[in-house]
Amino acid sequence: MQSGALDTLKGTGRRRVTIDPITRLEGHGKIDIFLDEKGEVERAYYQIPELRGFEIFSLGRPAEEMPQITSRICGVCPTAHHMAATKALDDLYHVDPPPTAKKIRQLIYNAFMLEDHALHVYILGGPDFIVGPDAPKEMRNVAGVIEKVGVETGKKVIAMRKRLRELITHLGGKIIHPVFGLPGGVAKGLTADEIPALRELADESIEFAKFTLGVFKNIVLANEKYVSLITSEEFTHRTYSMGLVDANNRVNFYDGMVRVTAPDGKEFAKFAPSKYLDVIAEHVEPWSYVKFPYLKQVGWNGFADGAGSGIYSVAPLARLNASDGMATPEAQKAYEELVATLGGKPVHHTLANHWARVIEMLQAAETLRELADDPLLTGKEIRTLPTEKPTVGVGIVEAPRGTLIHHYETDERGLITKANLIVATQNNAGRIAMSVDKAAKGLIHGGIVNDGLLNKIEMAFRAYDPCNACSTHSLPGQMPITLRLRNGAGEILREIGR
């Protein structure tokens, strides 16, 4: 936005606050907050980058390359893209993988979800909740988290993450370049002698997830101040929720039907991945490159809550809302506690995403154990060879950040003629924009903007774990923020940098 928006402010007496990533994420995840003459927030905008050129890049390439290409595009969650692309190829070639292949895919995918969620809970959510939203900024980092939870816990987190990554690498090839997914199956099976170590890791994973739930309860839920922040109106939106569910309407990360529940919790839609275009449409705003997805049947009615607005949410909390519960026993218990504590289902408090994430860790760990005990996991039949001509394929998985959609069309030789991705953060874009706007309006008054307030506004989008996928690495590394307070002429009155 920017210079143009500044010009329109001239002579109006209004001011603009910019929360602006100044590193290689320039232009990515930028927040602009416009203040009126009294220092009240008129409107806050959160801009998410859109990956451009994907369709052009894909045209004419063999469809079989897509699991490798898409996993290379995203440096954040290559396993999710690899899996969604692989499932799209199943659909494209009209082939159903054998049960063993599906179980191996689920094993890899649940290990990935667990590892990714653990990283988020301790490293991203940690500074906000474990250290505390009002802690001095020099403490709101990894070092502060370790100081609070203890070195032994820190070592436990790092060790568990390492072992899960080794498992994923062993089964699926390098995490950064997964190669296990093939249309109709997987490239490599498991043998019986690998199962004991897998069981051991699964048991340790369950203990680790339970331990993490304990950390969350002891530090976050035991603190009334944190709980009131979670349930505060500034961090609440009553939107539709979307997520994959299994045949019993339980949360599933890898497969199933897509279910949408209304703000009152009732089922609104349930559809097969191939029907996604019947349900989802996209809206364009002049201030953002992102196309905001919304529910076609409800329609686009602006950035608004409620049943009359087609905006929906994805990610852990939305998955819990869109389901009838968790698929494993311990996770189900934890889910029931969340629902009871936060006033019943559905839960619309954005910051409860952190709690939902821990519950999903538990489901992922328990699923690992169930799979390790399943004799089908070591079956010999790991691929159904495609025999039909390729046409259209849609693959949907639940990425850590929410519903991820891959859609390919090819000619009869299997060369791509159309490709479309809707990534999780895009599905969440409408709600994230609303969250940032609401938090800014609730927290900034009389032109007073300080580091603590800035952090709380950032918390509104960090809870979603936004993935600005095309920025893959780290020089200088973190996402420093500068906040600029400007007068109507665009002059900087004050600058807060980190």
C-beta of 465: minimal distance to another protein in Å? 6
Instruction: Kindly tell me which residue out of 14, 462, 484, 486 binds another protein, with binding defined by CB under 8 A.
Output: 462
Site string for another protein, 35-74 (x = CB under 8 A): --------------xxxxxx-xx-----------x--xx-
C-beta of 323: minimal distance to another protein in Å? 25
The one-letter amino acid code at 160 reads M
**355's torsion region: left (phi>0), alpha (psi -120 to 50) or beta?**
alpha
Nearer to another protein, 60 or 329 (CB): 60
Check binding of 465 to another protein (CB under 8 A).
yes
Instruction: Kindly tell me which residue out of 119, 376, 392, 415 binds another protein, with binding defined by CB under 8 A.
Output: 119
Closest by Cα among 248, 264, 245, 244 to 346: 264
Check binding of 173 to another protein (CB under 8 A).
no
C-beta of 98: minimal distance to another protein in Å? 31
Residue whose token pair is 């009553």: 238
Check binding of 435 to another protein (CB under 8 A).
no
- Sorted by sequence, the CB contacts under 8 Å of residue 458 that are 6+ apart come out as 19, 31, 481
C-beta of 28: minimal distance to another protein in Å? 8
Check binding of 11 to another protein (CB under 8 A).
no
Number of Cβ within 10 Å of residue 96's Cβ equals: 12
- Sorted by sequence, the CB contacts under 8 Å of residue 467 that are 6+ apart come out as 74, 76, 77, 399, 401, 423, 424, 425
* Helix, coil or strand: residue 236: strand
Instruction: Kindly tell me which residue out of 137, 389, 418, 494 binds another protein, with binding defined by CB under 8 A.
Output: 137
Cα–Cα separations (whole angstroms), residue 238 to 208, 305, 370, 398, 435? 32, 5, 35, 21, 11
Check binding of 437 to another protein (CB under 8 A).
no
Check binding of 479 to another protein (CB under 8 A).
yes
Check binding of 132 to another protein (CB under 8 A).
no
Stretch that binds another protein, among 94-102, 231-239, 290-298, 470-478 (CB under 8 A): 470-478
- Under DSSP, the state recorded for 299 is -
Q: Where are the beta strands (DSSP E) in 274-387?
A: 280-284, 291-295, 312-313
Stretch that binds another protein, among 159-167, 296-304, 357-365, 383-391 (CB under 8 A): 159-167
328 vs 119: CA distance, rounded Å: 22
Interface residues toward another protein, by CB under 8 A: 21-27, 29, 49-54, 56-57, 69, 72-73, 75-76, 78, 119-120, 123-124, 127-128, 137-138, 140-143, 146-147, 151, 154-155, 158, 161-162, 165, 175-176, 455, 458, 461-462, 465-468, 470-481, 498
